[in-house]
Amino acid sequence: MGIEGRLEQCRALAWDTTFPGVRDWKNRHPGGKAVGVFPVYSPVEIYHAGGMLPVAVFGGGNTVDLSHADSRFVSFVCSISKSTLELGLQGRLKDFDALVFHSICDVARNLSSVFVRNFPEMHVEYIHLAQNPSSRGAVDYLAGEYRRVRDNLARRLGVSIPDEKVAASILAFNAARAKMRELYAFRQAHPHLLSTAELYLVIRAGVMLPIEEMLALLDEVLADLPRRAGRPRDRVRVLVEGAFCEQPPLGLLEVIEEAGCYIVDDDLALGFRWFQEDVSPEGDPIRALAEAYVQRSVYSSVRHDWRHKRMDALVEKFRRSGAQAVMFLPAKFCEPALFDYVLYRQALEKEGIPHLVVEFEEKMWTFERTRNEVQTFVESLLFE
């Protein structure tokens, strides 16, 4: 199968919120358990080591009408929280045995409690991620959290999660992250051969598959890419920032590119590309995961590290990517992204880096206004 056919498969899988891949995996693994993970980062290596299937849950996108979830929330919260609960209330998460949330924002914190209240038959975990990486106790604290979650899953779901299996899972996910880095490097060097909409399809579908199938998918795409034909166009190279949790509609990414942009770097599905380098499988693997999170995470609006300013990291990422501008894509009502925008804007203005803000929500259907905004922005850069 060529890359075009593979991309169509990815498109169908990525936005099927009935999670057919989970059902298929369970049919092939009688008694197997599936764990849904809410963005941003989750220690999926631990779940995989217990023979479980970790699957990304990115909400319902524009495929789910909110019939029930609105009654459980105030109106001014992000779309992903509402549509994720809607998936549960419509029975679309029934094949998951557990869901894991994290301390990335107040909404995620409270969403876990809402799930506990509404789905008593489902095991719900909440990970308190280390909030002060500069503390000498941060690694020990986070390793303790990971062990608590491991023990709870083992007890509740009847699985065994030995350290040697965690170490093996670390190697598998290291391999996947390395291949994703290869894809990102190819897109950065040859954006005319691999659009960001296409790259995102591959990553989005991949994080819904067993890691072994994800690795095979990434291998196939990497092998096919050099054979693609295409000519560079006169477009503006932009870096997309702010879509680390709730994901923008695919149509929005396509419109941005059609309006004259090459997206050469981004923070889409960031949680599955979370580490700057491989996690060590040596020694205590759970502590190694905690140490990697505390010391070698990528910067993000939901991870605060006083030792390394996020504003400086954004400027560095901009320089490294060869971008000409930054495009902020914050989700509507996403407080971490919107608060950080003020700081990012100050840093970019200081460096003389142009930027544009395009706010989105999951259920956007039309993008003509955005197309006009982006085209005007592109023209201002090309013809200044």
Burial of 300 (0-12, 13-18, 19+ CB in 10 A): buried
Which of 19-23, 58-62, 112-116, 326-330 is least confident? 58-62
Q: 194 lies in a domain?
A: no
Q: 268 lies in a domain?
A: no
The string of pLDDT tens digits covering residues 169-198 is: 999 999 999 999 999 999 999 999 999 999
CA distance 55 to 99: 10
Q: 384 lies in a domain?
A: no
pLDDT at 384 over 80: no
Q: 354 lies in a domain?
A: no
Question: pLDDT category, 75, cuts 50, 70, 90?
Answer: confident
- State the amino acid at position 55 in one-letter form: V
Q: 202 lies in a domain?
A: no
Q: 9 lies in a domain?
A: no
Q: In this structure, what are the phi and psi dihedrals at residue 236, rounded to the nearest 5 degrees? A: -90, 130
Q: What is the pLDDT of residue 318?
A: 98
Q: Which residue has the tokens 């105030």?
A: 74
CA distance 96 to 215: 22
CA distance 207 to 362: 19
Give the three-state DSSP class for 106.
helix
Q: 209 lies in a domain?
A: no
Task: Take residue 196 and report the two structure tokens written for it.
Answer: 């960001």
Do the beta carbons of residue 127 and residue 148 sit within 8 Å? no
Task: Take residue 368 and report the two structure tokens written for it.
Answer: 């003509």
The string of pLDDT tens digits covering residues 122-131 is: 999 999 999 9
Neighbours of 151 (CB within 10 A): 11
Q: 368 lies in a domain?
A: no
DSSP for 129-186 reads --S-TTSTTHHHHHHHHHHHHHHHHHHHHT----HHHHHHHHHHHHHHHHHHHHHHHH
Q: Domain total for the chain? A: 1
The string of pLDDT tens digits covering residues 1-27 is: 688 899 999 999 998 999 999 999 999
Q: What is the CATH number of the domain that holds 95?
A: 3.40.50.11890
The string of pLDDT tens digits covering residues 88-106 is: 999 999 999 999 999 999 9
Q: Return the C-alpha torsion angle 236, 237, 242, 246, nearest 10.
A: 90
Question: pLDDT category, 276, cuts 50, 70, 90?
Answer: confident
pTM of the model: 0.94
Bridge partner residues of 355 (DSSP): 326
CA distance 256 to 11: 18
Mean pLDDT of the chain: 95
Using omega within 30 degrees of 0 as the cis cutoff, is the peptide bond preceding 40 cis? yes
CA distance 309 to 97: 38
Of 112, 140, 94, the residue nearest 38 (C-alpha): 112
Q: What is the pLDDT of residue 67?
A: 86
- Mean pLDDT within 304-323: 94
- State the amino acid at position 202 in one-letter form: V
Range of the domain at 74: 16-161
The string of pLDDT tens digits covering residues 202-223 is: 999 999 999 999 999 999 999 9
For residue 35, what are the CA distances in angstroms to 32, 56, 65, 96, 285?
A: 10, 9, 24, 6, 20
CA distance 293 to 67: 37
